[in-house]
Structure 1
Amino acid sequence: MARKTGSHSDITGPKVRAAAQKLFARYGYAAVSMRQIAGEVGVQAGALYNYTPDKQSLLFDMMKAHMEELLAAWEAEPKGEGPLTRLEAFARFHVRFHLDRPEAVFIAYMELRNLEPGNFEVIEALRKRYESELEAILRDGQEAGVFSLADSKLTTLAVIAMLTGVTTWYRDEGRLSRDRVVGIYWNMVRKAVGA
């Protein structure tokens, strides 16, 4: 079938990814068909294959893009000096970054189980790179006597899980502003590491 009148790859491609993200976040990867994604975009199902080889590639590409964007944004973030200042920068950054991307965050955590093994390895490596950034801060703080930790790896995973959890409940129209929420989360992280 010919391309739909008015369809352009630079417009339709992002629409395909946005529709897939919306549907995967709402119904779960396994429950969404390529036909549903096509319907959301307003194209024939066969037209999707002009933009992606298959549904697995769509999932992998959006998860990889999310992790690469996260790593690049953290790299560009001012971090300050000393473990406590760096930990505060990490906590505040993590909450702010994730609040703007609740669907991508949900998919990045909940759909790992649906990645094929090779794709899982790539995403897991990116996740570990990000986790290692926080773990290095925690280890530096522990060595400097600023933090009191039973286990730096476990604390890393617990802090990331706590910070990421904000995306499940926060609403802009709620009673707390983003800045207030970021400040409260930072205070909880500080207490969690004994600082």
Structure 2
Amino acid sequence: MARTAGSSGPRTEEAIRSAGLALIATHGYAAMSLRQLAAEVGIQQGSLYNYFRNKQEFLFDLIRTHMQDLHAALDAALAPEGGDPVERLTRFVEFHVAYHVERPQQVFICYSELRSLEPDNLAAVVAMRRDYERKLSDILDAGRAAGVFRLDDVRMATLAILAMLSGICTWYKPGGRLAKDAVREIFLGMVLALARGEVPAEAVEAAPPPALSRRNGVARAGAA
């Protein structure tokens, strides 16, 4: 990929991030080399160090930026604070499903490459993930306090809902049997049933996603 003549620093940085996402999603962090990344962008390998110090910092920045964007987008989707817990839970589900469908590479890397982060970087990302979980827990707590949700264990319900919704990045395929809107409505019905106590949280599969294959830069384990 030839570098665009006269490209600016921000444009080159964006090209590096885009190429890095695709390479890691396709080959994995361990297999991606900085030489390969530089070649994909069309710059000298040494030029990469104008944007990050090493490969680990690059991965951490990709995941951290993803989590920051996720938080900001969720806050916008839930604004203003307060209000009806059912409506807020509905908005949470709609947002989470749409975000995971629209950003499969970022989501895939955020899940699959946590193991590749060094301890301090991993701790920072885990803290951001827990903050995201807490936003869902707060909605469920408010619904339980209002008497509209029947949950014995909000923490378990939070993890069960997130495991169910996030699994979409392993199997959803645009153009498959179900459209995105149909998937969203099915998920919404299941989440509301769980929150209302119609389905116990223990019944929701909360295990890690199935073994993933890398194809076309996106995790797949089937198709809707």
Using the TM superposition, name which of 29-38 and 99-108 deviates more.
29-38
Aligned twin of 2:194: 192
- DSSP-derived class of the 1:29 partner: coil
Structure 2 spans left out of the alignment, 5+ residues = 199-224
2:10 maps to a residue whose letter is: D
Give how far 1:87 is off.
0.9
Aligned twin of 1:14: 14
Give how far 1:175 is off.
2.3
Give how far 1:4 is off.
8.8
Instruction: Kindly indicate which of the two structures has a greater share of residues assigned to helix.
Output: 1
Give how far 1:96 is off.
0.9
Instruction: Tell me how far apart the structure 1 counterparts of residues 4 and 175 of structure 2 sit (CA, whole Å).
Output: 39
Give how far 1:142 is off.
2.1
Instruction: Tell me how far apart the structure 2 counterparts of residues 101 and 167 of structure 1 sit (CA, whole Å).
Output: 9
Structure 1 spans left out of the alignment, 5+ residues = none
Aligned twin of 1:29: 29
2:50 is aligned with 1:50: yes
Aligned twin of 2:216: none
2:132 is aligned with 1:130: yes
Aligned twin of 1:89: 91
Give how far 1:114 is off.
1.2
The C-alpha deviation readout for 1:120-159, integer Å capped at 9, x for no partner, is 1221121111110001111222233322223211211111
Is contact 1:4–1:43 with CA below 8 Å preserved after alignment? no
Is contact 1:131–1:156 with CA below 8 Å preserved after alignment? yes
Query: Which of 106, 110, 114 pairs up with 1:104?
Result: 106
Q: TM-score, normalised by structure 1?
A: 0.91
2:11 maps to a residue whose letter is: I
Instruction: Tell me how far apart the structure 1 counterparts of residues 4 and 98 of structure 2 sit (CA, whole Å).
Output: 39
- DSSP-derived class of the 2:173 partner: coil
Instruction: Tell me how far apart the structure 2 counterparts of residues 140 and 39 of structure 1 sit (CA, whole Å).
Output: 51
Is contact 1:13–1:51 with CA below 8 Å preserved after alignment? yes
Matches within 5 A, 1:32-181: 32-78=32-78, 81-181=83-183
Give how far 1:101 is off.
0.4
Is contact 2:78–2:92 with CA below 8 Å preserved after alignment? no
Give how far 1:84 is off.
1.5
Is contact 1:135–1:156 with CA below 8 Å preserved after alignment? yes
Runs (4+) of structure 1 moved beyond 4 Å? none
Q: RMSD of aligned C-alpha atoms? A: 1.9
Instruction: Tell me how far apart the structure 1 counterparts of residues 186 and 5 of structure 2 sit (CA, whole Å).
Output: 51
Instruction: Tell me how far apart the structure 1 counterparts of residues 4 and 136 of structure 2 sit (CA, whole Å).
Output: 47
The C-alpha deviation readout for 1:55-101, integer Å capped at 9, x for no partner, is 11111111111111111111111467222211111111110112110
1:147 maps to a residue whose letter is: F
